[in-house]
Structure 1
Amino acid sequence: MEKAKRIKELRESTGMNRKEFCDYFDIPYRTVTEWERGMRHAPDYVIRLLEYYIGMEKLVKEKEMSKHS
């Protein structure tokens, strides 16, 4: 998958806009913008770390939600 598309999909999967995403992950806004537009390429390890972290956060939220059900 194209890196620019993957970064955008990851961000959108969080429900965050670009500014919120950048603030949350402490990544400069311009960097994420350039990644999403394909002007620069995110390193593979950054994409893997974002995938892992976002996935783990979702699991935590699902577990917390199921505790309250």
Structure 2
Amino acid sequence: MRTEKYNIEGIEVEIEIAGRSDEGIERTRTAYAFKAIREFSGMNRKQFSEWLEIPYRTMQEWELGRRVMPEYVLKLIAYKVANEKRRQC
């Protein structure tokens, strides 16, 4: 079982990539990253959706890997979450 670790705006993400196609890896990477960012925020999907002003259904599709968000959107969300966490400390 092969895993991949990477960092998005200071938030560590680890995904399992064994047996997946390149497209499957990208979908999985983005979905896991988005979920990790949301969990790092301490919010559930509904709270996160309202906080970001993104439709709940869209966020659900991203998190489940049914749709892939653009990389820049993922980075912007991670940046916002990381900065809010820093302010709370």
TM over 0.5: yes
TM-score by length of structure 1 reads 0.85
Instruction: Give TM-score, length-normalised by structure 2.
Output: 0.67
**Greater share of helix residues, 1 or 2?**
1
Equivalent pairs: percent with the same residue? 44
Question: Which blocks of at least 5 consecutive residues in structure 1 are unaligned?
Answer: 63-69
Cα offsets for 1:43-67 (capped at 9, x unmatched): 11111101111111111111xxxxx
Q: Any unmatched runs of 5+ in structure 2?
A: 1-14, 16-28
Which structure has more relative contact order (CA 8 Å, sep 6+)? It is 1
Q: What is the aligned counterpart of 2:50 among 9, 23, 33?
A: 23
Moved over 2 A (4+): none
Number of aligned residue pairs: 62
